[in-house]
Structure 1
C-alpha cells in the first residue's frame, strides 16, 4: 500500500470509528433491510465481511423470525441486527424474539415507535435505531431514548419519504450528529458519497440497492439481471391515487407491477367507499400487497408482474460479485476521496 492510500484509509477509519464502535463492526456500513433479500445469507455475508447486516423481518411471524435469527447465527459470529416494522400486529412478540436471542441492535421502521416499544427493546440492553425523516422527528426520537438514527432520502428503494438525502443530511446532521450516531442512506452507490457524508458528520452510512447483486444474495437471477440492466431513471416512485389511503410511495423499477399496484389501490378505495374495511385494514392490505409482489420478483423471478424495489443508485450496479468485494471497493473509493481532499 502506498503512502497516499494509507493516509486516506487512516482518515476513513477515524471518521468511521464512532459508527463502527456503535455497531460492533469493522466498518460503519449497514446493509439496509430489504424484504426477501436481507435474509440469513446476505446478512451473514455482510457481517462476515466487516459491515453490519440487518434481517428484514417484514411480515414474518414471530416463529419465522426466531428461526431466521438462529439460522443467521449459524452462519456468522459477528454482530447483526433485526429490522422490525412498527405497524406489524405482532410487534411486541417480535421484540421478545429479539430479546430471547440477545440481538444487539433493533431497527424500527415505518413510523414512530408505538408506546412501550422503546422500553421493550432496550430492557435487555439492545440498541435501538430509528428512521428520522425530518429534524423535528429526529429530536423527538432522541428525547424518547433512541440510540441512533438513519436519515434516508427519497432516492432510496422501497418505501420512501418526500425529501432528498442531501437535503435531509444538511438539515439533520449539524443539529443532532453530536448527540447520537447518525447513518445516512438513500442513493449511495460509491465510496465518494460515503466520504462526503462522513465529512458532514455522519457516523456511517446504509446501502441496500448496491448489495442486491452480491453473489451471496438469494435474489432470483432475473431480479439481479433487471438491476444490472437498469439506469437511475428506471427507479421511479409509485403514485397515490386516493388521498384517503395513507399510501407511502414506493420506489421500484418500472414494469407491469406498477400498474397492478394502481389497480390494487382502486380496489381498496372502493372497499373503503362501501364501508367493508376500516382505514387500518386498508393500510395493511396495501402492505401485504407489496410483500407479495416483492416475493414474486425476488424469489420467483417474475420481474414483469412482481415488485422490483430499487433505489436510484441502481445504475451503479453493473455486475454480480462477492459482497466482500463490493464492500472493499466502497471503502477504497471513500479512502481515495478523503486522501484527495487532504492533498
Structure 2
C-alpha cells in the first residue's frame, strides 16, 4: 500500500510538472510560482528567497530611482544565481532609464505594470533581449498585449491586495484562459492554496502569482507587527478603499481595515464639503484625497504602524495562519496540488 501511494504521488508530481511546464520553461525556474511585486516588500531578500526556493521572485521597483533599482538588482544577484524579474510602473518618469538599468544588469524578465506600456518601452525591452510580461484586466487587452509583443501575461483578480481592478479572478480566468493560447498566462489574486493553483492550471494557465502569503514570510523585511496583523486577519478584513463621492474618485486599493481606513472616510467627507462650499477647487480636493495615503504603506511595512498606515493585503490573508519561511510556503503549495492530483488516482 505504501509503495502504491508513493507511486501515485510521483505520478501526480509528474502531472503537475506537465501542467505548468510552459510556465516553468518561460520563467526558467522549478515551480511556476511568481512572487507578486509588492512595494517596500519585494526587495532583494524576499525576491532571492523566492527564487532560491524554486519560484520566481520579482523586484518591485515602484518609485525607485535608476540608481536604487541598480542597487537592488545587484543585491539580489549577490543572494541568488537563479532567475528573477523586475516590475516597472509604466507611469514612472524615468521608465526608459529603469529599463536600461535592468537590461544592463542582464535581468531576463521585465514586467511593465500600471497601464498600457508605451511603444518605445516595449521595443526597448524586446530589443534588449529580455522577456516582456504585462498585466491584462480583460480579454481584449490581453489579445492586444500579445500582438504588441508581450511574451507572457498576468491576469489579476480583484481579490488581490494593493491596487485592484473590478473583476474577480474566477471570472477573468473563464473569460480569458479558454480564448488566449498565444502566450503563457499567469493567474493572480486571492491564491493561497495549491489546489486553487491546480484548478487554474487545468483551465489553461501556465502558472500563478502570489503576494500576500509571501508578505508574511520569515524572509520578508516587513515589521513584525505587520506580519502579525496578517496572521490575525480574516479574508473579510481585506477590503477595497471606499469612494465617498464619484466626483472625487478614489483608486481602489485592497487592504486591512484599521483606524487609517476610518480616517480616510472622514477626510473624504471633509474635503468634499470644502469643495462643495467653494472653499477649494475640484483639482485641489482631488489632490488632498490622493495625498492622504502618502507614505502610509512605508509606515505600515517598515515602521509597523498598522493603525494609521496602509496595510495592503489580498483576501488570501485569511490563509496566512503563521509566519513561515518562503521555501516552506512554496513546498506547501506544491504538496497541496500534488496530493489533490494523487487523490483522484486513489479514488
Does the alignment reach a TM-score above 0.5? yes
Shift of 1:339: 2.0
RMSD over aligned Cα atoms: 2.2
CA distance in 2, matches of 1:290, 1:278: 16
SS at match of 1:2: helix
Unaligned runs of 5+ in 1: none
Tell whether the 8 Å contact from 1:7 to 1:339 is kept in structure 2 after alignment: yes
Question: Is 1:183 the equivalent of 2:183?
Answer: no
CA distance in 2, matches of 1:200, 1:308: 32
Shift of 1:242: 4.0
CA distance in 2, matches of 1:114, 1:290: 28
Match of 1:197 among 180, 196, 200: 200
Residue in 1 aligned with 2:66?
A: 62
Shift of 1:247: 3.4
Match of 1:316 among 307, 319, 322: 319
Tell whether the 8 Å contact from 2:241 to 2:250 is kept in structure 1 after alignment: no
Residue in 1 aligned with 2:99?
A: 95
After superposing the two structures, state which structure 1 stretch, 234-243 or 224-233, moved more. 234-243
Tell whether the 8 Å contact from 1:160 to 1:249 is kept in structure 2 after alignment: yes
Which string of whole-angstrom CA distances, capped at 9 and with x for unpartnered residues, describes residues 143-200 of structure 1?
1111100011010000011111110001000011x21000000001000001100000
TM-score (norm 2): 0.92
CA distance in 1, matches of 2:206, 2:248: 36
CA distance in 2, matches of 1:103, 1:245: 40
1:92-241 → structure 2 map (5 Å cutoff): 92-176=96-180, 178-241=181-244
Which string of whole-angstrom CA distances, capped at 9 and with x for unpartnered residues, describes residues 266-313 of structure 1?
68876898459589x949x83x65461110000000000101100001
SS at match of 1:35: coil
Distance change in 2, residues 1:264/1:73 (3 Å): farther
Question: Is 1:302 the equivalent of 2:305?
Answer: yes
After superposing the two structures, state which structure 1 stretch, 109-118 or 235-244, moved more. 235-244
CA distance in 2, matches of 1:20, 1:232: 30
CA distance in 2, matches of 1:126, 1:278: 41
CA distance in 2, matches of 1:165, 1:159: 14
Unaligned runs of 5+ in 2: none
CA distance in 2, matches of 1:38, 1:162: 24
